[in-house]
Chain A
Amino acid sequence: MTTVLLNKSYDADFVGQVEKESEQNLSLCYQCGNCTAGCPYSSFYDYPVSQIVRLTQTGQRETVLSSRALWLCASCESCTTRCPNNIDVARVMDVLRHMARRAGHKPEPEIKIFWDTFLNSVEKHGRVFEMGLMAKYIVKTGRVMTDADLGMDLLPKGKLSFRAHDIVGKQNVADIFKRFNKERES
């Protein structure tokens, strides 16, 4: 258990930014631990979700944004559903990973690559192309054996399409990404 010394490390801007972007009042958290108790991913986290909330409340920017927990959260919404103070904890987790991304953290590179590849597929085709997504993921991570065993079950069932389902308005979708990236840069 690490001790956090608050006299020097409290980053008020960070707290304000998380509260603003998530529209949540973090000072309401009294560390009951309900969110952590129900979080199916606790055993994989470096910091359980209630501690992420506490570290955020106490302005520990670096510790929070470099945390692996942010990338392992599946957005299962059990924390949000069970918080006695109505804090939308899953939304806080989401906002923290937005910030972690913007700050360039990637403690779970495979997960980031999977998510990015997924979105690239949407940007390109308008819909996600499962087979293409897997192929790109494997190329980018070099993990050639990823789920190779499943192909044997999927292929005979026609469950994997070798063709992307490009939509007519794929340019509209690409434009959403383009405008978003532009907004981000400005």
Chain B
Amino acid sequence: MSPTYAYYPGCSGLGTSAEYDRSTRAVCKTLGIELVDIPDWSCCGSTPAHTVDHALSCALSARNIGQAEKLDVEGIITPCPSCLTNLKTASHRMRNPEFKARVEKLLDEPVENRLPVMSVLQVLFEQVGPRRIADRVTESLSGLRLAPYYGCIMNRPPEIMDFDDCENPIAMDRLMAALGADIAPFPLKVECCGASFGVARKGMVMKLSGKLLDAAEDVRADAMVTACPLCQMNLDLRQKQINAANNARHNMPVFYYTQLIGKALGLGEDSLMLDNLIVRPVGAFRKMEEVRRSAS
């Protein structure tokens, strides 16, 4: 029987990262991972909540953990690293009974806190694995050179996130390599992109995300690939702003890794929504074809 998980899409999946949500669902379905949406899930409060108070932040996540416990599932999974951090931190800290009691005082009902929480990336990497994905590839990505960018919090801090390596994660590298892509050694895999400061302090994002784009170009990547809605938005949607601020001329597509898995597995545009990317990937794909043609 295929494994079933409680799925937490996260708020951005309803808007700015619709393509991540859509491609995640399609890829999981194709690979035999069953997702059941957490009934009436609410926002985890993201960074703003934990800057106000830890019990408040954990309570916002704990409500969703409680909702998931009502389902017959083996764990909770989410594509978004920010949601993941909040869910995992809540679950981790509630192992302390005193803290759990404080959190439960803010909730309508107590939570058991028994379900493991994982990223979709972890489940695809550990449960399905690069080898089985490679077997399913119908449209190889060979000739496409990718800079895999994980963002700051997918794997950190290691005591809480408990997956892959906190300085040099490789899950996405291996999955992309399984699709046939050429993986550039990207030195800023876990550097921060500027997070949600794009609105209030744009300059910080211009500098930090600008550095990431420079580095991707330095390693001759045709595109970046990421697992985080906020990173993707800063690098893709704000790329024009970054070019203007830094006097740069980047034209770097920034994919969600699930879009690329879906493409290699032959899923259609309906599932991938590549048209949603602001920096159009046609050039990168064209180059991919050229590389292949000259190699054959």
B218: Cβ under 8 A from any A Cβ: no
Interface residues on B, range: 35 or more
B1: Cβ under 8 A from any A Cβ: no
Residue of B54, B153, B197, B199 with highest tally of chain A CB at under 10 A: B199
Q: Which residue of A lies closest to B45 (CB)?
A: A122
Count contacts on A: residues with CB < 8 A to the other chain: 60
Bound-state CA distance A41–B110 (Å) is 38
Q: Report if A127-B14 is in contact (Cβ < 8 Å); known contacts: A41-B204, A153-B237, A154-B237.
A: yes
Bound-state CA distance A161–B52 (Å) is 27
Q: What 0/1 readout, one digit per residue, does chain B (101-122) give for beta carbons within 8 Å of chain A?
A: 0000111100000000000000
A130 touches B11 (CB 8 A): yes
B97: Cβ under 8 A from any A Cβ: no
A158: Cβ under 8 A from any B Cβ: yes
A118 touches B106 (CB 8 A): no
B225 smallest CB distance to A (angstroms): 19
Residues of B within 8 A of A126 (CB): 40, 42-43
Bound-state CA distance A80–B201 (Å) is 24
16 A–B contacts, CB within 8 A, in A order:
A75-B51, A75-B195, A77-B157, A90-B157, A94-B50, A114-B48, A114-B199, A115-B52, A118-B48, A122-B45, A147-B198, A153-B237, A175-B108, A176-B60, A179-B105, A180-B53
A interface with B by C-beta (< 8 Å): 40-41, 43-44, 72, 74-78, 80-81, 88, 90, 94-95, 97-98, 101, 108, 110-111, 113-116, 118-119, 122, 126-128, 130-131, 134, 137, 146-147, 149-150, 153-154, 157-161, 165, 167-170, 172-173, 175-177, 179-180, 183
B interface with A by C-beta (< 8 Å): 11-12, 14-16, 18, 40-43, 45-56, 59-60, 63, 105-108, 152-153, 156-158, 166-167, 190-192, 194-202, 204, 207-208, 237-238, 240-241, 275-276, 278
